[in-house]
Chains A and B, each alone.
Chain A
């Protein structure tokens, strides 16, 4: 059952003909805009399916290549917990994934629902869940003591909150109380209307990133390419980093969590960008 040697090909598919298009390698001069059909992946000359045996199709060529690389990096055993993009896309196809790998039994429930949609949420519910996170946004919860941490929070988090306020023309406060900031309804509406402009795939990705980083503001910063993934993860873990600097780093816990969070945030961001872009390559005529 374990596939030892994986040969990977991504094919383009035309929906009207329900037939396979030309293989990727021979598609020279292919524009970046993906065809309406979507892309499949072949493993060992068989089509890749989701765990619920649905055909695995993604709308973006780059995403298909990335998932193919994920499968390629599995050596002797298949570790689904490292295949964030594949799991994320599969989750969009309605499934809770239970995986038995050679080492241990792992149950992976992926909230990044794309191909399978286990909780069957529609767009409105997704957006509402995402905006609800604003009330418990990490960046809005400040501490009062220790003073050094409060200072660090102010120094690092305030610029991002200010950027978000300016970019979306909203008012987001920060508070030190246990109840959190009071978010005005206009802010909420602004975010709802902004998120409504993304398609279903991208929304799943956005919601995944928000859940991982525990912050709507940081996720919007990532989606808008304002901050890098490493910086977003650092800001999300600001208190932990402060404690690490104070008390020392425990590699098997801190670094482990850091790498996992980075991987998930990066996968989510990549997912959103690849699913919501449509780029074409324009060749300008050389003028001489």
Chain B
């Protein structure tokens, strides 16, 4: 629990991830509004050790971890695993050939 960092960092990270997900219009998404509302609602408390605040912070950190790792996983997949088969042009290009162009179509 001590390794959570400050709530501000978690919030900033969450907003950054949401921006990655939604692009320009991230401020209109339900997730953005929900996250901000949740953080605002639990900000002010008169208790020294507020369990609800810690619970929310943990949840926020977990969600941040989820979004971040999904994005990194996708990036890694795209870079290393997602290439698929080569097209015939690429295969020919590997050995320096070019596919013939037949104006009338094949055959």
Contacts and interface: CB of A to CB of B under 8 A. Distances in A.
Interface in B19-61: 21-22, 29-31, 34, 38, 41, 46, 52, 54-55, 58-59, 61
A109 interface: no
Contacts of B46: 284
Interface of B: 1, 3-4, 18, 21-22, 29-31, 34, 38, 41, 46, 52, 54-55, 58-59, 61-63, 65-67, 69-70, 72-74, 76-77, 79-82, 84
A176 B76 CA distance: 36
Contacts of A262: 65-66, 69
Contacts of B72: 255, 259
17 contacts: A62-B59, A65-B30, A65-B34, A68-B31, A72-B21, A72-B31, A84-B66, A84-B70, A103-B82, A225-B55, A229-B61, A256-B77, A256-B80, A262-B69, A263-B69, A267-B66, A281-B41
A251 B76 contact: yes
A69 B62 CA distance: 15
A165 B38 CA distance: 34
Tell me whether chain B's interface is mostly helix, strand or loop, or mixed. helix
Nearest to B28: A25
Contact of B66 (A61, A258, A263, A277): A263
A9 B30 contact: yes
A266 interface: yes
B1 A226 contact: yes
A161 interface: no
Most buried by A among B1, B65, B80, B84: B65
Interface string A198-232: 00000000000000000000000000011111110
Contacts of A273: 55, 58-59, 62
Contact of A229 (B18, B30, B31, B65): B65
Contacts of B84: 103-104
B31 to A, nearest CB: 4
Interface in A220-277: 225-231, 251-252, 255-256, 258-260, 262-263, 266-267, 269-270, 273-274, 277
Tell me whether chain A's interface is mostly helix, strand or loop, or mixed. helix
Nearest to A261: B69
B34 A62 contact: yes
Given A8-B29, A65-B34, A266-B62, A82 B73 contact: yes
Nearest to A252: B80
A69 B59 contact: no
A167 B54 CA distance: 19
Nearest to B57: A225
A171 to B, nearest CB: 24
Contacts of A274: 59
Contacts of B38: 62
